[in-house]
């Protein structure tokens, strides 16, 4: 975990793949192991332990990334700024951009996937085919590069559902490389040197203060850029 920007109000963090963002209720163990992003941050910024809707379990967390998704996150340092960021997210004034490598060659240069997402009964898996707790989900995408059997895309979720990008791209017929949950039979072990899905939170754009826009970027980590180098 690396802090790439620091202000009195918030931190910009580069989360590595394999690190869980926060604990779930009932988790045990001390914070010295820093298995969780929040544990690692509290060691450096103890004030975070009092920030958030549920500081005991999700200190300073206003949005999340999957365990095996890397990239940029914003972490509020005060309760006042947490409420400010929370409102920005609710009003869809925070714009996030991801990069993903998918199986197959996408023909259209850009598009929008508008399919509600629900929880598949008896699992933690999400689906666009009914399920429970169905919610609106909209994802924009743009092709960055086409390879023989793969496409590198830029993905901009308009909503923030769990596993949204992974579910939507799989529904479109182009699952993310390395996604063992939603990738189906298209997984090819020769490309899985990274050991996780090729999904990276590349940038986050919002107003750190009202009327002043800023964009924070996390470049592709070596495990993912190495895969692209093999395809070039």
Q: What is the pLDDT of residues 79-122, one digit of tens each?
A: 999 999 999 999 999 999 999 999 999 999 999 999 999 998 87
CA nearest 37: which of 85, 5, 87, 74?
Answer: 74
Give the C-alpha distances (Å, rounded to integers) separating 83 from 12, 47, 117.
17, 15, 27
> Which residue is associated with the tokens 């869809």?
92
* pTM score, whole prediction: 0.91
- Across residues 2-22, what is the average pLDDT? 96
Which CATH code fits 95-232? 3.30.2350.10
Query: Which residues make Cβ contacts (< 8 Å) with residue 211, sequence separation at least 6?
Result: none
Tell me the C-alpha distance between 92 and 85, whole Å.
10
Dump pLDDT digits (tens) for 133-187.
Answer: 899 999 999 999 999 999 999 999 999 999 999 999 999 999 999 998 898 765 6
Q: Is there a common fold for 1-91 and 95-232? A: yes
- In which band, very low, low, confident or very high, does the pLDDT at 71 lie, cut at 50, 70 and 90? very high
Of 14, 39, 66, 179, which is the active-site residue? 66
The stretch 62-72 carries a mean pLDDT of 95
Domain ranges of the chain: 1-91, 95-232
Known catalytic membership, residue 66:
yes
Pairing of strands 150-157, 199-209: unpaired
Q: Which of the listed CATH numbers 3.30.470.20, 3.30.2350.10, 3.30.450.20, 1.10.10.10 matches domain 1-91?
A: 3.30.2350.10
């Amino acid at each position: 975990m690396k802090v790439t920007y620091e202000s009195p109000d918030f931190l910009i963090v580069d989360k590595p793949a394999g690190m869980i963002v926060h604990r779930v209720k009932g988790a045990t163990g001390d914070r010295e192991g820093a298995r969780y992003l929040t544990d690692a941050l509290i060691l450096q910024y103890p004030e975070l332990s009092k920030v958030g809707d549920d500081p005991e379990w999700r200190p300073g967390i206003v949005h999340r990334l999957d365990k095996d998704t890397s990239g940029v996150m914003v972490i509020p340092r005060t309760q006042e700024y947490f409420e400010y960021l929370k409102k920005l997210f609710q009003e869809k004034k925070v714009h996030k951009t991801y990069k993903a490598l998918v199986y197959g060659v996408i023909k259209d240069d850009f598009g929008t996937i508008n399919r509600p997402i629900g929880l598949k009964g008896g699992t933690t898996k999400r689906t666009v085919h009914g399920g429970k707790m169905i919610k609106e989900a909209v994802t924009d995408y743009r092709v960055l590069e086409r390879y023989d059997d793969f496409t590198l895309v830029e993905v901009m979720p308009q909503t923030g559902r769990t596993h949204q990008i992974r579910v939507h791209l799989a529904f479109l017929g182009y699952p993310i490389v390395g996604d063992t949950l939603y990738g189906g039979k298209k997984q090819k072990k020769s490309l899985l040197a990274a050991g996780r899905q090729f999904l990276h939170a590349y940038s986050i754009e919002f107003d750190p203060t009202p009327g002043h826009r800023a964009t924070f970027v996390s470049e592709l980590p070596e495990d993912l850029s190495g895969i692209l180098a093999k395809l070039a």
